[in-house]
Amino acid sequence: MVKILTGKTSHPGTAQGEVLLLTEPVSFWGGVDHHGEIIDVHHAQHKAKITNKILVMPSGRGSSSATAVLAELIRTGDGPLGIVMLQCDTILVIGALVSAEIYGISMPIVELQQAEYDQLSDGMNVSLVADFESQVATVTI
Amino acid sequence: MPSQVNLVLTTEEQAMLAGANGPAVAMCMRIIVGVANANGAEKLIEIESAHADGTLYHGEAGLDFTEKLVALGGKVKVRTTTNVGSLDLLHPDLVHGDKTLMEHGRRLMDAHIALGCEPTWSCAPYQAGHRPAFGTHVAWAESNAIAFVNSVLGARSDRYGDFLDLSAAVTGRVPFGGLHHDAARKAVLVLDFSQIDSKMFAEDAAWAALGVILGNRAGTRVAAMVGLPGDLSDGGVTEDRLKGMGATGASAGGVGLFHVVGITPEAPTLEAIVAPSAEYVVMTAEDVRQARDQLSTTASDKLDAVSLGTPHFSIAEFRALAEVIGDGPKFAEYIDFYISTSRDVMSRAKDLGYLDIFLAAGGRVLTDTCTYVTPVMSTNVKNVMTNSGKWAWYAPGNLGIDTVLGSLSECVASARAGRVVRDESLWS
């Protein structure tokens, strides 16, 4: 049965794909390599690949240079298709804004409340629609 | 429920967004407004200066963004200094990186100049002539510079990074949020050092250890430190000690602002800056020793190199180094002794004679960049001594080497002996 979760647009865009649910945040600078693999050895999902996934994680982490790393992953096609978070991370929003400006690729970032966030599970197929005008975003599961 | 869109722009800001000031301003305004919307900011505020951190090459996206701003006719609207780049433009032979990366790094630095930034190429712009006034709003990037401008100068910057720094510089605006707000500048954590013998804080390296404690305990929270000995007039606390501590705290945690009660300008008293129901922790000498130990990755006395100046060496640090070197023996032949500094400080150190004393002893100076972000040291270098907590924090991961944290005098004594020389009495 189709279910629609409603949240807030942190960055507009649409995407459809498989969820990679991270149990803890990852830093893009130093935590993810340029092929989209999680290289932070302390991370619970070390070696998981974020490429072409809907990345679901509670918040962001780490260096402010992560803006440039995310933009570079989006440019090369090694980045996620979209991101869903409990707590919006400015650094990732900046990376998405710049990718939209210079490469015309608008990767959605959606902020969900806990009750909606908890309905997402690893490996599930979802589609994101993050609207710019209304700032309303939906996650269809 | 999604929160309401509540950002209100002035007429001038709406015009900037619509393109009245050209396409570069409009693009930067879209980024600023995008961040403001995501964070729920109510308005934008004007800034008086910026420090741009996108000067270090991380990949083509950063270069594409900066060169696009240049192509669109972008110019910075406020005074904007530049952080370190990937090259030493004054001593190009010292950096031996991949040719394409070096060329891209050079283009990235050139693009910042084309936008009207000042070529300071320093992570310590506050010691190279850029010191915003108390209470003014600024947009600074580079974690140590953010901690310094907020804590030591009392200007106000949130933690900015690549892209937003230049967007703020070009528009002269930032979202009104984070550390720009009074309430966000109150300490929610108090670290009390009054139980520790003040002798322990006599050496600069102890302040690097304090930075580890600050970063580990505070994370991204604002902390106040009480019970530290001395003040800025008796030399017990120096600007360089606060610089080193903040830089290490910003590396070990996400420190953007700290208060040292009785020392830093917003904290004449604890009451002035403490938040209601702040957490209070009493620290011990053992905590400081443990923090110091996190900054050394080897107990070996083998030594290949010494690196000072992360953040960039100041003129006061050059003076202290020249005094320690004096007319003593030269450094051991096989030890590479590097100082990273700004071209501004290097030129003053030359005029005052400090630079020649260091060079005559066998040292080398790197400007515009830093030994831990770009290939400078020989690949044979394995064990490096430093008095910088930030360098010790990052270099093992970035360069794959081992570090030993020491005081300035231990670094000089070790460089002369060609092996690590420690004075444990400093840490008892």
**Residue B6: exposure state from Cβ atoms within 10 A (0-12, 13-18, ≥19):** exposed
- Is residue B40 in a domain? yes
Tens digits of residue pLDDT in B293-332: 999 999 999 999 999 999 999 999 999 999 999 999 999 9
Tens digits of residue pLDDT in B264-296: 999 999 999 999 999 999 999 999 999 999 999
Question: How far is it, in rounded angstroms, from Cα B260 to Cα B267?
Answer: 7
What φ, ψ does residue B216 adopt, rounded to 5°? -65, -40
Residue of chain B with shortest Cα separation from A41? B397
Tens digits of residue pLDDT in B38-93: 988 999 999 999 999 999 998 899 999 999 999 999 999 999 999 999 999 999 88
Look at residue B4 in the predicted model and tell me its pLDDT. 52
The CATH number of residue B329's host domain is 3.30.499.10
Nearest CA among B166, B196, B178 for reference residue B25: B166
Tens digits of residue pLDDT in B208-256: 999 999 999 998 899 999 999 988 888 889 999 999 999 999 988 889 9
Residues of B in Cβ contact (< 8 Å) with A72: 58-62
Question: How far is it, in rounded angstroms, from Cα B122 to Cα B364?
Answer: 17
| E strands present in chain A | 4-11, 13-21, 54-57, 82-85, 109-111, 125-130, 136-140
| E strands present in B91-186 | 139-140, 173-175
Q: Looking at the structure, do residues B153 and B224 belong to the same domain, yes or no?
A: no
Q: Looking at the structure, do residues B106 and B161 belong to the same domain, yes or no?
A: yes
Look at residue B3 in the predicted model and tell me its pLDDT. 47
Mark out chain B residues that contact chain A at CB-CB < 8 A: 1-3, 5, 27, 30-31, 34-35, 37-39, 53-54, 56, 58-62, 64-65, 68, 141, 143, 159-164, 397
Q: Looking at the structure, do residues B41 and B175 belong to the same domain, yes or no?
A: yes
C-alpha B86: how far from its chain's center? Answer: 16
Contact B220, B178 (CB under 8 A): no
- Is residue B1 in a domain? no
Look at residue B6 in the predicted model and tell me its pLDDT. 85
Alpha-helical regions (H) of B228-353? 239-252, 270-273, 285-293, 315-325, 343-351
Residue B45 structure tokens? 């505020």
Residue of chain A with shortest Cα separation from B162? A65
Q: Looking at the structure, do residues B198 and B170 belong to the same domain, yes or no?
A: no
- Is residue B6 in a domain? no
Residue to substitute from A69, A91, A98, interface B, most B β-carbons within 10 A: A98
Range of the domain at B61: 11-179
Query: Is a pLDDT exceeding 70 seen at residue B261?
Result: yes
Tens digits of residue pLDDT in B129-170: 999 999 999 999 999 999 999 999 999 999 888 999 999 999
Query: Is a pLDDT exceeding 60 seen at residue B1?
Result: no
When comparing pLDDT for B3 and B417, which is higher? B417
- Is residue B428 in a domain? no
Q: Looking at the structure, do residues B157 and B37 belong to the same domain, yes or no?
A: yes
- Is residue B245 in a domain? yes
Radius of gyration of the CA atoms of chain B, in A: 22
Q: To the nearest whole angstrom, how far is the Cα of A35 from the nearest Cα of chain B?
A: 13
Element (H, E) at B305: strand B305-313
Look at residue A62 in the predicted model and tell me its pLDDT. 67
Domains of chain A, first to last: 4-140 (3.50.30.10)
Look at residue B428 in the predicted model and tell me its pLDDT. 64
| Sign of the four-CA dihedral B261, B267, B271, B273 | negative
Helix (H, G, I), strand (E, B) or coil at A138: strand
C-alpha A139: how far from its chain's center? Answer: 12
Question: In sequence order, which residues have a C-beta less than 8 Å from that of residue A130 and are 6 or more positions away?
Answer: A9, A10, A11, A12, A13, A14, A82, A108, A109, A110, A137
The CATH number of residue B49's host domain is 3.30.499
Q: Looking at the structure, do residues B336 and B418 belong to the same domain, yes or no?
A: yes
Of B137, B159, B179, the residue at which a domain comes to its end is B179
| E strands present in B353-419 | 364-367, 383-386, 402-405
Q: Looking at the structure, do residues B195 and B254 belong to the same domain, yes or no?
A: yes
Look at residue B185 in the predicted model and tell me its pLDDT. 98
Look at residue B394 in the predicted model and tell me its pLDDT. 86
Helix (H, G, I), strand (E, B) or coil at B409: helix
> How many domains, in total, are found in chain B?
3
Weakly modelled stretches of chain A, pLDDT under 50: none
Catalytic amino acids of A? 63
**Inter-chain CB proximity A64 and B60 less than 8 Å:** no
Q: Looking at the structure, do residues B282 and B336 belong to the same domain, yes or no?
A: no
Residue of chain A with shortest Cα separation from B30? A97
Of B236, B263, B293, the residue at which a domain comes to its end is B293
